[in-house]
Chains A and B, each alone.
Chain A
Amino acid sequence: MDFFSTLYYRTKKVLKSLKMYLAIAGPGLVVMIADNDAGGITTYAATGAKYGYHLIWFLLLLIPVAYYVQEMTVRLGAVTKRGHAEAIFESFGAFWGWFSLLDLMVVDWLTLVTEFVGMTSALNIFGVPPWLTVAGVIGLMGIIVLNGRYWTWEKIALGFCLLNLVYVPAAFMVNPSVKEILGNGLIPNLPGGLNNDLFFLLMANIGTTIAPWMLFFQQSSVVDKGLHEKDIKMGKADTLFGAIITVFVAIFIVVVTGTLLHGVPIDDAATAARMLMNMNHFTGALLAIGLFDAGLLGAICISLASSWAFGEIFGWAHSLNTNVKQAPWFYASYFFTLITAGIVPLIPGAPLVLITLFVQVIAVTLLPAALVFLILLLNDKKTMGEYANTPMQNWITGGIVVAIIILSTMYGVSAIFPNLFK
């Protein structure tokens, strides 16, 4: 009898925790999975095609990096009830505030262009003309945000997150060698030594796993959702879960291209999908569907990150819980960013591959600035109280920032002296 009562009590407790998690879940999962955007899929596909399974260990390292960086925005948002842009303006003054806002605006817009590039090229594989994809996506995204409820927007976004898992069956369909994945992928190694190509790809992988827009997005999302201090624990679990999923999806993409396209130069994920279709039709089709979904999810989040940030600073109403009449500037900036970015892939001769690759690197170069502000904000004990960074958290996040600064600087130096690492 005791056994059954204990079992009943424990099951009830687990169900209660699960129910609580499902209520809080959203910002962390959405931001992490949206992180596997069109540019990200291209980066992972190129990583697998160029280095096979050899860089899987590096992707695994990015789980704690992504988690430790993003969980800080959960604490900051839940405690201050302010978005990231507003927090920087208020704490560090107008100069750094404008710098962060303009930085966010430029990187977001460029990233949004890459999302449209990914979506148009993905649907082009199925014969859909680019103009129709752009028009359809803008229309769909309009419907998603104009419903006037954060909750509905979040659940739709989570639905698109589920579609991101198409890479899992795709990886199983190509019959990879588990022995080779474990043998080559899990032991840290730098295939061919540290040269410019490898370095560029490592930087691009970091850039696609943690990006400035993610900090702004998740903090604003936590505020818009109305999370409080008591929700921080679940918010952190949500972020960890998202970090694990995003890296595992990335690994599955590397496995697909590493198995079938190893040694083939890949410029973008759509090219990889086309090549794969010739070898294994369904795998190629899944890669193309996943690429479209990734672009859409990225676009949904990135355009919102900018609009939230502008709303915070300019004092406009800036919540998904408002309608167009209540927050005209919020929705105007959202659609302005979306439409202008959507037009770029339709311009004949636009340097799209260059933009796609550079946006990842520019993002990772500007990331240290965003991370330094984040750490300084999390150390403001007057505002954060018991939720301020502990010395251990400062060591971990400080280490991550230093590592990124070193990598960024090395990239900068290699830009001037291209033969330095050859």
Chain B
Amino acid sequence: MRIFTQFSEKIREINARYAKPKVEMSPAIKFSLTGLRIYLLVLVVLLLYKFITLIPAGN
């Protein structure tokens, strides 16, 4: 139990340490990161769909 508490404390510490991005958020970077979010969301959903439909088929 103690190890989990320590672990969650460590994660909180990491989140606090890196809360603010160091790189200057220029419009180009903001655009890239937003595009990346959308891209990943769409592709992950598509791949999960493919994976889930393939497993029952036994391929």
Contact = CB atoms under 8 A, between A and B. Distances in A.
B1 interface: no
Contacts, number: 66
B46 A94 contact: no
Given A313-B14, A351-B55, A415 B49 contact: yes
Q: Which of A90, A366, A408, A412 has the most chain B CB within a 10 Å cutoff? A: A412
Given A94-B14, A313-B14, A354 B59 contact: yes
Contact of B18 (A90, A314, A412, A413): A90
A361 B46 CA distance: 12
Interface string B1-42: 000000000100011001111111000010011001001101
Nearest to B23: A91
Interface residues of A, number: 31
A93 B18 contact: yes
Interface in A294-311: none
A91 B49 contact: no
Interface in A82-120: 89-94, 96-97
Interface string A377-415: 100101000000000000000000000010011001101
A372 interface: yes
Nearest to B13: A315
A163 interface: no
Nearest to A103: B40
Nearest to A313: B14
Nearest to A91: B23
A416 B20 contact: no
Contact of A354 (B20, B39, B47, B54): B54
A369 interface: yes
Interface residues of B, number: 27
A369 B40 contact: yes
A372 B36 contact: yes
A89 B14 CA distance: 9
Contact of A92 (B15, B33, B46): B33
A91 B22 contact: yes
A94 B43 contact: no
A368 interface: yes
A365 interface: yes
B19 A415 contact: no
A372 B40 contact: no
Nearest to B15: A94
B20 to A, nearest CB: 7
Contacts of B54: 354
B22 A415 contact: no
Of the listed residues B14, B19, B20, B55, the one surrounded by the most CB atoms of chain A closer than 10 A to its CB is B14
Contacts of A369: 36, 39-40
A18 interface: no
A94 B19 contact: yes
B19 A412 contact: no
A372 B39 CA distance: 12
Contact of B29 (A89, A376, A416): A376
A387 to B, nearest CB: 16
B21 A314 contact: no
B50 to A, nearest CB: 4
Interface of A: 89-94, 96-97, 313-314, 351, 354, 358, 361-362, 365-366, 368-369, 372, 376-377, 380, 382, 405, 408-409, 412-413, 415-416
8 closest cross-chain pairs (CB), A and B: A412-B46, A415-B50, A93-B21, A91-B23, A94-B18, A89-B18, A94-B15, A412-B43
28 contacts: A89-B14, A92-B21, A92-B23, A93-B18, A93-B21, A94-B15, A94-B18, A94-B19, A97-B14, A97-B18, A313-B14, A314-B10, A361-B47, A362-B47, A368-B39, A369-B36, A369-B40, A372-B32, A408-B43, A409-B39, A409-B42, A409-B43, A412-B42, A412-B43, A412-B46, A415-B49, A416-B46, A416-B50
Given A351-B55, A354-B54, A362-B47, 9 more contacts: A89-B18, A91-B22, A92-B33, A94-B19, A365-B44, A365-B47, A376-B29, A405-B39, A412-B46
